[in-house]
Structure 1
Amino acid sequence: MKMQKVWFITGASRGFGLEITKAALAAGDRVVATVRRQPAQLAATLDNHPELSVVQMDVAQEDQVQAAVKQGIARFGRIDVLVNNAGYGMVTAIEEATDAEVRKQYDTNVFGLLNVTRAVLPHLRQQKSGHVINISSIFGYDVVPGWGLYGSTKFAVEGISKGLAVELAPLGIHVTTVAPGLFTTDFLSTDSYVAAKTIIDDYQATVGRMRSGTDALHGNQPGDPKKFAQVMIQLANTDRPPLHLPVGKDAVSMYQNNATKMAQEIEAWLPVATSTDHDYRVAA
């Protein structure tokens, strides 16, 4: 008999977060779904499902995060699956982005993820069980012009997840980074990602093309978000989940291409890379 799980899902108002919430409820689980605004609207969208608790929370505000987790525990008694999904994209050349724009990106995509993880882990440790699923990105494996800073936040998520995995494994807690490719969510709509206010003409041939091409790609991505949500349900119900899971043919291809490029570069420079040890002399 399948055990009913309690999910804590951030960024649940739309996109992956909404689809995962729907899929978890349909699977017979309970969900604490967090949104930055209008919690009643999400509850109504999901027909005020009796196994759903919608909580207003900004991941960048640690006091709100702590309160939301306490509210979820009070409602359902435990958390079994944490899905760190909240985040947003930014199209910009790295030089173009201001300090404030970069910090805001990291506050949500990296420090927000850490805020939520720190708030949930004490409960998972007490249970000696649980699964932390961090949503990374195809750009957490490699980058394209214009998405370098966003990609750097996902590289950070990958590194944090690897650290968490080795620290939490002895406590019975699993960690997985899920790196989706391009799916028909709102991620590429103009009201979901942001563009840096500064534009430098020298980047027109690279970042400029991405700025003009992103809107055209919206709605034409290959991935089905509902199918992505089903992958998440399967992942949460496996006894031996992977640490890394690219989802989508494009994400798998990005991972494989990047791994090949890195291996080739290291091999080409291997004599230099391995030439730096001390020269020890054996005494006569």
Structure 2
Amino acid sequence: MSTENNTRRWLITGANSGFGAAFTAAVLAAGDEVIAAVRRPESMAEVAAAHPDRVQVVALDVRDPAAAERAIEQAGRIDVLVNNAGYGIVGAIEETTEDELRDAMEVMFHGPLRLTRLVLPQLRERRGGAIVQVSSMGGFMSFAGVGGYSAAKGALELASEALAAEVAPLGIQVLIVEPGAFRTGFAKPDALRVTGAIADYAETAGVARDGLPSSDQQQEGDPAKAAAAVIAVVGQPNPPLRLALGPDAVGAIRGKLAAVAADLDATAHLGLTTGLAN
């Protein structure tokens, strides 16, 4: 993928922390430009001052449709949209309130798709560009305690799989990024949303409730290396749809695929006999 002057403009949501900050640094190091879409524009002041000609900051809460429209209008040309903003939520399904589920879906499903729809007209017009959906290994598989989070990320993944088939003939790339545990602020106690607790789930969802906060800054994944991997894939010929990042993500996704295959093998004799008799 290239533009007229070979400088790409990346709109990155949540650009001020975690993977967003790593993506921003990597894009700037590559000589490209960043449109940092953040809830608190002042949080990008230092980066913007260091790169006054290559960093544009726009205010955006991805929950707000009007703010999304303003941000895209202010951004101007966008070559790569990176839907990165999100947060972790931990709790058993029964422990998770409807409001908590709805907010997770708003931030990690509706918000990204809204921005995607707003950016697509200019990408279609230019017959090029890319949309990067930052999901998680938890968007492809799940485990006790992260059902709400995985539901939001999984919904984004399936919508994006359809989107990829729709826009590929128009020269537009869709990349689903599936990180494992990386040393971002994802698991910080003040960033992680933790639901109310029911004692009966202590040995299932409770493991994630206790384990995720204690893993903060102990993760093996390097956000800078993850960002470099994403940049290497965006715009390459015959790109993959999914990019799993980290040995834990690669292993967990392989395990999920094997489990699905095993279930299919075990039940195929039933599934194949459910057609109408001739």
1:258 matched residue in structure 2: 256
Contact 2:175 2:234 in 1 (8 A): no
Q: Deviations over 1:151-189 (max 9, x none)?
A: 111111110111101110111101110101100000000
2:19 matched residue in structure 1: 16
Shift of 1:13: 1.2
Q: Which of 13, 32, 42 lines up with 2:44 in the alignment?
A: 42
Give the letter aligned to residue 8 of structure 2: K
2:55 matched residue in structure 1: 52
Give the letter aligned to residue 219 of structure 1: Q
2:218 matched residue in structure 1: 220
Q: Secondary structure at the match of 1:150?
A: helix
CA distance in structure 2 between the partners assigned to 1:45 and 1:6 by the alignment: 16
CA distance in structure 1 between the partners assigned to 2:190 and 2:25 by the alignment: 23
Q: Secondary structure at the match of 2:114?
A: helix
| Residue 172 in structure 1 maps to residue 175 in structure 2 | no
CA distance in structure 1 between the partners assigned to 2:230 and 2:257 by the alignment: 25
CA distance in structure 2 between the partners assigned to 1:188 and 1:51 by the alignment: 31
CA distance in structure 2 between the partners assigned to 1:121 and 1:45 by the alignment: 28
CA distance in structure 2 between the partners assigned to 1:246 and 1:189 by the alignment: 23
Shift of 1:243: 0.6
Shift of 1:18: 0.8
Shift of 1:41: 2.7
1:4 matched residue in structure 2: 7
Q: Secondary structure at the match of 1:234?
A: helix
| Residue 148 in structure 1 maps to residue 147 in structure 2 | yes
Q: Deviations over 1:181-213 (max 9, x none)?
A: 1000000001221011x3111101111122112
Q: Secondary structure at the match of 1:132?
A: strand
Aligned length: 274
Q: Secondary structure at the match of 1:246?
A: strand
Contact 1:136 1:158 in 2 (8 A): yes
Give the letter aligned to residue 271 of structure 2: A
| Residue 189 in structure 1 maps to residue 192 in structure 2 | no
Gaps of 5+ in 2: none
Q: Which of 63, 66, 70 lines up with 1:67 in the alignment?
A: 70
Contact 1:132 1:176 in 2 (8 A): yes
Shift of 1:262: 0.4
**Alpha carbon RMSD of aligned pairs, Å?**
1.3
**Which structure would you say has the larger Rg?**
1
Q: Secondary structure at the match of 1:47?
A: helix
CA distance in structure 2 between the partners assigned to 1:134 and 1:146 by the alignment: 23
Q: Percent identity?
A: 40
CA distance in structure 2 between the partners assigned to 1:264 and 1:114 by the alignment: 33
Q: Secondary structure at the match of 2:164?
A: helix
Gaps of 5+ in 1: none
Shift of 1:46: 4.8
CA distance in structure 2 between the partners assigned to 1:4 and 1:175 by the alignment: 19
Shift of 1:40: 2.5
2:116 matched residue in structure 1: 117
Contact 1:60 1:112 in 2 (8 A): yes
2:93 matched residue in structure 1: 94
Q: Deviations over 1:71-125 (max 9, x none)?
A: 110xxxx211111101111001001111111101101000011111111111111
Contact 1:24 1:233 in 2 (8 A): yes
1:234 matched residue in structure 2: 232
4+ residue runs over 2 A deviation: 45-48
Q: Secondary structure at the match of 1:165?
A: helix
Contact 1:81 1:131 in 2 (8 A): yes
Q: Which of 23, 27, 32 lines up with 2:30 in the alignment?
A: 27
Shift of 1:48: 3.9
What's the TM-score, normalizing by structure 2? Answer: 0.95
CA distance in structure 2 between the partners assigned to 1:191 and 1:120 by the alignment: 32
Give the letter aligned to residue 125 of structure 1: R
Give the letter aligned to residue 49 of structure 2: D
1:134 matched residue in structure 2: 133
